[in-house]
Structure 1
Amino acid sequence: MSFDLLRSEIIDAGLCQGCGLCAGYCKHIEMETLRPTLKDYCILEREGQDCGKCYQNCPQVLQKKFKELQPLGIYSLRSKDSEILEKASSGGFVTTITKQLLKDKELSEVVMVQNIDDLPKASRVTDPEDVIQNAGAVYGRSGVLEKLVEVTGDNFEPVGIVGVPCEIRGASEMGEEMNRDILKIGLFCNSSMRTAETDRGLVCSPCCGGCPSGVNAQGYISLIREGKYLEAVDLIRNDNPLPSICGRICTHECEHGCTLIGSDHPVAIRELKKFITEYEIKQDIKKSVKIKKKLGKKVAIIGAGPAGLTAGYFLSLKGYSPTIFEKTDHTGGMLRYGVPQFRLPDYVLDYDVETIKKAGVDIVFNKPLGPDMTIEDLKNDGYEAVFIATGQYKPRTLHLEGEELPNVHVAINFLIDRKYRDWQKQQEFKGKTIGIIGGGPVAVDVAQTALRLGAEKIHLVDIMNEKDLELVLREIPEEELKFMEYHFETSVSKISKGEGETLVLNSYKIEKGEVDNTGRRSINKIEGSDYEIKADAIVIAVGQAVDFNLIDIATGNKLKKEHNKIEIDPITFETNIPGVFAGGDTITHSKAVAIAAIAHGKEAAISIDRYLKGEDLSKGRYRQNKMFFEGITRTPKDYSLKPESLEEATEDIQWNFEEIEAMFTEDMALAEARRCLSCNHYCSHCQDFPAIYSDFTAGEVGSKQGFTTVVAWTERGKEIIEKSIAQGSFEEGTVNEDELKKAINLKSKREMEVLEKTPRQQVLDYVTLQGPTTISNISKTLNLETKKVRYEALRLVQLNQIEMNVEPGLEEPRFSPLCED
């Protein structure tokens, strides 16, 4: 059992959990970028020595079928320590109990994951106060078992470990082998990632959990590693029917939670998506989409933007007959009219739309919602549900003095005019300076367009600081950024005429005040900070609004609105009008990015399906603010990188409207895909949700928000819990045991990964099934080296798993199953 077997069956197969146990056992193995690697050589391969500890002791190799085990106690607890509640997860049970065990000297040391510099690190904790100071870490790939081996090697006092079920299983096996009584504090599997996927008993990696539409990035990257590029695109379409578009313009929030951050740069997930979707396009494969038999029910969708296209696609797959009514003569919405060609070429958008049409979605052009097509008209025409996804086309301004002056534009009109309205002035801004009010993505689109039309200088004025706009700035090629000057934390009082035909942005510096009772911070002018920015043209890029004139007519002014957006149920996306749903940029608190609109369309399709079946729209679903409604609240700790050659190609600007981003070659894509750790893929083959090999387990399933569900599995665990309750450390709540049992049962039904049996397991199985036998018989039957069989059989005897009998007159000892008393 060499390291090669561990690498092929566990590491390269994406089953390594990063616990570090193999590195703890073997001095020739080290953890490099969160996965085991040989630092010199494997003694079995080089010296032929019997070993195999790395493989035989791997918790993934030692997978055990879930067994029913009766808990000795189930509790719902919340810490009474306010400092702990501020930092710890859910009810703060694990932090409180660990601190208490160290403080009372019941444990001399605990191995646990701690939040060190905002990254999860396996730590040896001896000081009770350190438990609190570094609480709140997310478990996974932290090397806790490597640390535990280290602890048990030099500390012979009572020790403990906090870990997820697979880590606890490894610790349990290790404790038996080393004859050490280790207190095992378990955590429910995936307890820190409550998503629709985990609630259904499925597996969700951090990248999947960070995608508004729940795309299985880990899954399709695994397919890329295998060279299955078309299958990878198909997997994306299970959750997102616009993969080619997202390969270009997605905000790639999936990368922000990549486990590699802190050890390496995150995987370039968007670049990989771009590679495989472009590969599919070039293959010119006529895609066929499997759809259910039509149910004879019609759904009207208003708007052919990302939300409307997505809703239509998924409704068609469910057997409905969706029709998209689009007010213009093209699909795509703002993706087509607002995003420049050099960021999103038309052929990419058209390809994804064609796939959606092949799925059975009808699209009617030049048909706006309004007096000529009302909601009532649609119902009379047999449409049983309506999804409104009209987007935002109404330009916003700041109502400044001078906005009406010549050469003052609004961003959306500026971009549309220079993309589709037969624009011939290729040198419109040659040698000129452009002033832009705003510094976000749309402002950058304006700036890049102006540069391609000859501008030599761009001023961008924004009230945000450089850190706030970090994500935007990173997307701008260096060769373009040097022509742009950002005026951060700056506002404009008015636009005025300058000399000749020039314009002036009358600007001043601002500072933000304290947060008020609405959660917002006031913006205050810094006195004496006024200055002028001279420009030949000015573009106002401060966003768009929904134009409700036609929508109000079509809905008879019945549609409820909030802050000039459609108010919806945040779980079902239904409006106050029964059977009428809404999504995309038209709704309150929308993130206003394509992938969120796609997620809205996907969720709305689920709701419409339930509505037409007469089912509960909310059952089994919950509000997902981060996914659907909230923008990125803080910048990620690190960013994905392109290979140097690709970076150079991207920076080589041609100053035309061709796509500016170069893409991965096949070799680049494969190399990048191999960096992926396949996080939580190993969970697909584990049946143990509640960590039954622990002394007690904790997690949030089964308790109301703010409380921790705690399950005692051993008498020792129960005694510790009840002693802490008696000491007044916790407030007690009630447990929903049905919810807990549901989570346990869901995971217990997973199919386990079938791996090659270790020689030890083969010998044990043979003896157990065949009864008394000899080393010669075992070696011959199993085709194993005699020396290896002898070693494993004697080791099994030492572990009290089989017994050996030496009988007079026999040349060999006989090995038998262990007889129970």
Structure 2
Amino acid sequence: MTEAILVMLGFGAVCGTVLSLASKIFYVYEDPRIAEVEANLAGANCGGCGYAGCSAAAAAVVSGKAPPNVCIVSGPELVANVAKVMGMDVGTAEPLKSLNTCDGGFRADDKFHYMGVQTCAAVSTMYGGKRECRVGCLGYGDCVRSCKFDAIHMGPDGFPIVDEIKCVGCGACEKACPKSILTVRTLSQRLLDINKTEDALAPCQQTCPAEIDIPMYIECITKGDYEGAVHTLRLRNPLILTCGRVCPHPCEDYCRRGIEDEPVSINQLKRFVADFEMNSGTRFPISCAPETGKKVAVIGGGPAGLSCAFFLKRVGHDVTIFEAMPHLGGMVRYGIPEYRLPKKTLDWEIQGILNLGIEARTNMRFGRDFNMGTLSYEGFDAVFFGIGAWSDYTLGIKGEDASGVYTGINFLSRFAGGEKIPIGKKCVVVGGGNTAIDCVRTLVRLGAEEVTLLYRRTRKEMPANVVEIEAAEHEGVKYHFLAAPTRVVSDESGNATHLEYLKMELGEPDASGRRRPVPVEGSETLIEADMIISAIGQRPDVSFKEDAKSLEDLVITRWNTLDNDPITLQCSIPKIFTGGDSATGASLVVSAIGGGRRAARSIHQYLMGESVKPPENVLFKTHIPESLFEHVDGVIPSERARMPELPVATRIKTFEEVDLVLPEEAALKEASRCMNCCRLCYNKDTRKKAA
């Protein structure tokens, strides 16, 4: 008996020793954070996240393979708790939502009759699908069947409709769609998306420098969803009141309806919904992503700077705008007269941007009141230069230093700032762009007896907006074409009395595509003028770089612009970005807005430690060839809405706004003219009437 007990004790001791050694050899450590993360998940074990239950999802979060918002059924509070456990910023918990980019459906023509398995996956294997459009929806509902939350249904027009309230962003629909028309994105990703060659885009949207989804916001108007139209616009453009008044709407040149009829008045419809919000007595809410803790300095409060600040704030970054002038707005405040853009309207729009939590410091000139060292000391992680093009080109002729001779932007900005400028009786403005037109129309309102615009080419080559050229003519401005100034004649007191010019004739086209003006020898002619304004263009003032050692590596081009990548807008110093006129030279307001958003995208990449680069196959200042038609079938001509305006006799005596907003009935009628185009699809008028 004793021997048996001793044997058993010995055996037990041996087993204990072995087990002790084994536990040390084969011990598996489990990170305690896994249990904490799992405790903050929904506990549904549904597998919708792509992992085998909540334990596996928690392990994926801790290992860095999944974000804190991996659980598709957890609310924001639980996601924030998970982020806190991981010591991560809650900003990573920005919710995902599915977005359908195609509304072609039954509008899309078929290229062959299909009699196979009724799934998108099956039909896509045959030449990419039966539809003529190679990027559009196939319509068999694989996405609908993949969704476990009843958040997608196939609409009556043959394309999927996403219910954003039910959508949890699980990504199942995106994986199921063989055409990639359903994408699961955060708000930030949608805000910073750039048009690509494979996108489903209408020609007008491809043309818009701000890349606005034009068919979408017009479709909202037709449904009476004005708030939805404003939100659609603000995904790309924060200055819709301003653009609705001053944009030359290049998008309308590519309106598909315009091929067979008059183009849709896209810009007037933008103005209509923008004014609707302003006059409604409330502001539609603007959502922003959670804070990232990153700080960006925006130098220049013009359209490019305001746009960049708006989008940076919406994706979670802290933004401060530094503006040299007393008020924000840049060239749209100090270069565009009140009769085109009332200051109270601009103020309302800018205040809406600042209300997001953006700080503005005015009367702060870079290089004088602060510099790169100041910004570094304050902890700014990146800098955006949107300094505009405030330096006027002079005529470069003898005598232009005479009293009574001004430059365009200098004249307009001084007047806009409240300065009393003596106005001549006979005024001549030299130039053919919008600044020249703004000058002549301002002079008419200030009481000049005779106002003449002198231009070295013909009316056809004038770069100014056609409607502005016509409006100035209606207001009594005289045009003198094919004339180039050669000298200013002044009296004994140094006051300008005449402008001498040479007659010109058009030769061969130059780099701009316009025929080059060639002087006619011996054709010198005098025109009486006691006030002369040179409005032949402007460029950025980059004098701030002269004494700044920290900016030695900042490359400036021969046009005084900041050298930059035209798509990413990153400069030669990696933390510096630019946009607007300081990137391109003097250009359109809407181009500056588009540049501000592209720069915000690049700055976001830089701040997040990503590579600063555009997406593959970016569509930049180009068009998708197959979307450009020569003929459009099924168009019944209908009259384009005419913009209401103040009568000439009234408006030339005041600076009240000339162009008025469309009445609601006219706006709805004009919106119905839009064919809701996409890449290839569009609504035919005949089909509308049949319905």
TM-score range, shorter chain: 0.5 to 0.7
CA 1:214–1:597 in 2, change beyond 3 Å: closer, same or farther?
same
Residue in 1 aligned with 2:605?
Answer: 610
Which residue, 548, 552, 567 being the options, matches 1:571? 567
Is contact 1:463–1:491 with CA below 8 Å preserved after alignment?
A: yes
- Matches of 2:656 and 2:511 in 1, distance apart? 48
Q: 1:486-529 CA distances to partner (integer Å, 9 max, x unpaired)?
A: 22232111111269966211111223544689999765311232
Q: Shift of residue 655 of structure 1? A: 2.2
- Residue 429 (structure 2) aligns with: 436
Larger RCO: Structure 1 or Structure 2 (Cα < 8 Å, ≥ 6 residues apart)?
1
State whether residues 268 and 641 of structure 1, in contact with CA within 8 Å, keep that contact through their aligned partners in structure 2.
no
1:375 to 352, 372, 375: 372
What letter matches 1:658 in structure 2? Answer: E
The answer on whether the counterparts of 1:307 and 1:601 sit within 8 Å (CA) in structure 2 is: yes
The partner residue of 2:341 within 337, 341, 344 is 344
Change (3 A) 1:446 1:241: same
User: Is the alpha carbon distance of 1:297 and 1:495 closer, same or farther for their aligned partners in structure 2, counting shifts above 3 Å?
Assistant: same
Amino acid at match of 1:548: V
Picking from 458, 470, 484, the partner of 1:491 is: 484
Is the 1:211–1:627 Cα contact (8 Å) retained in structure 2?
no
The counterpart of 2:363, out of the listed 359, 366, 369, is 366
Cross-structure match for 1:453: 446
1:67 and 2:67 are equivalent in the alignment: no
Deviation for aligned residue 1:477: 4.8
Of 520, 523, 526, which aligns to 1:526? 520
Distance 1:646 1:201, change over 3 A: same
Q: Write the letter of the residue equivalent to 2:347.
A: D
Contact 2:109/2:131, CA 8 A, preserved across alignment: no
1:467 has 2:465 as partner: no
1:217 is aligned to 2:214: yes
Contact 1:511-1:523 within 8 A present in 2 as well: yes
Question: How far has the Cα of 1:400 moved from its partner?
Answer: 1.2
Aligned-pair distance for 1:626? 2.5
Partner of 1:792: none
Would you say the 8 A contact 1:371–1:553 is kept in 2?
no
* Higher fraction of strand: 1
For 1:259, the equivalent position in structure 2 comes to 256
Does the 8 Å CA contact 2:434/2:463 hold for their aligned counterparts? Answer: no
Mapped partners of 1:17, 1:68: distance in 2: 18
Q: Which residue of 2 aligns with 1:538?
A: 532
Counterpart amino acid of residue 490 in structure 2? K
Write the distance in 1 (CA, Å) between the matches of 2:645 and 2:119: 47
Evaluate the alpha carbon distance shift between residue 557 and residue 232 of structure 1 in structure 2; reply closer, same or farther with a 3 A threshold: same
Q: 2-side partners of 1:625 and 1:457: how far apart?
A: 44
Structure 2: stretches of 5+ with no match in the other structure: 1-102, 140-178, 182-191, 624-636, 684-691
Q: Is the 8 A contact 1:14 1:678 kept in 2?
A: no
Cα offsets for 1:233-283 (capped at 9, x unmatched):
111001001111101001211111000113210011111111111111111
What is the TM-score of this pair, normalised by structure 2?
A: 0.67
> Equivalents in 1 of 2:429, 2:638: separation in Å?
29
CA distance in 2 between partners of 1:312 and 1:415 (Å)? 26
User: Aligned partners of 2:638, 2:431: CA distance in 1, in Å?
Assistant: 26
CA shift, 1:466, in A, is 1.7
2:316 to 312, 319, 326: 319
Instruction: Give, in angstroms, the shift of residue 664 of structure 1.
Output: 0.4
Alpha-carbon offset, residue 469 of structure 1: 1.7
Change (3 A) 1:316 1:644: closer
Is the contact between residue 17 and residue 682 of structure 1 (CA under 8 Å) also seen in structure 2? no
AA partner of residue 386 (structure 2): A
Shift of 1:418: 2.2
- SS of corresponding position for 1:467: helix
- Residues 185-200 of structure 1 mapped to structure 2, 5 A cutoff: 199=196
Matching residue's letter, 2:447: G
RMSD, aligned CA: 3.9
- Bigger drift between 436-445 and 451-460 goes to 451-460
Cα distance 1:684–1:203, how it changes in 2: closer, same or farther (>3 A)?
farther
Q: How does 1:151-190 map to 2 (within 5 A)?
A: 164=133
Give the Cα separation in 2 of the matches to 1:19 and 1:648: 46
Cross-structure match for 2:297:
300
Give me the whole-angstrom Cα distance separating, in 2, the residues matched to 1:454 and 1:14: 55
Does residue 1:665 correspond to 2:663, yes or no?
Answer: yes
Distance 1:479 1:571 in 2: 36
Q: Contact conserved, 2:237 with 2:593, CA < 8 A, in 1?
A: yes
1:371 CA drift (Å)? 4.8
Deviation, structure 1 residue 70:
4.8
Q: TM-score normalized by structure 1?
A: 0.57
Q: Residue 420 of structure 1: CA displacement?
A: 2.4
State how far apart, in whole Å, the 1-side matches of 2:643 and 2:232 are.
Answer: 29
Q: Tell me how far apart the structure 1 counterparts of residues 652 and 346 of structure 2 sit (CA, whole Å).
A: 22
Q: How does 1:642-661 map to 2 (within 5 A)?
A: 643=641, 646=644, 653-661=651-659
Q: 1:19 to 1:622 in 2, by over 3 A?
A: closer
Please give the secondary structure, in 1, of the residue aligned with 2:547.
Answer: helix
Aligned length: 513
Structure 1 segment 268-283 matched on structure 2, within 5 A: 268-283=265-280
**Given the alignment of the two structures, is residue 289 of structure 1 paired with residue 286 of structure 2, yes or no?**
yes
Deviation at 1:457, TM superposition (A): 2.2
Over 3 Å counting, the alpha-carbon distance change for 1:650 and 1:237 in structure 2 is: farther
Please list, as runs of the form range in 1=range in 2, the aligned pairs for 1:773-812 lying within 5 A after superposition.
none
Q: Distance in 1 between matches of 2:652 and 2:456?
A: 32
What amino acid does structure 2 have at the position aligned with 1:660? V
For 2:131 and 2:600, the matched residues in 1 are separated by 41
For the residue of structure 2 that corresponds to 1:573, the secondary structure is coil
Tell me if structure 1 keeps the 8 A contact 2:196–2:616: no
Establish whether residue 620 from structure 1 lines up as the match of residue 615 from structure 2.
yes
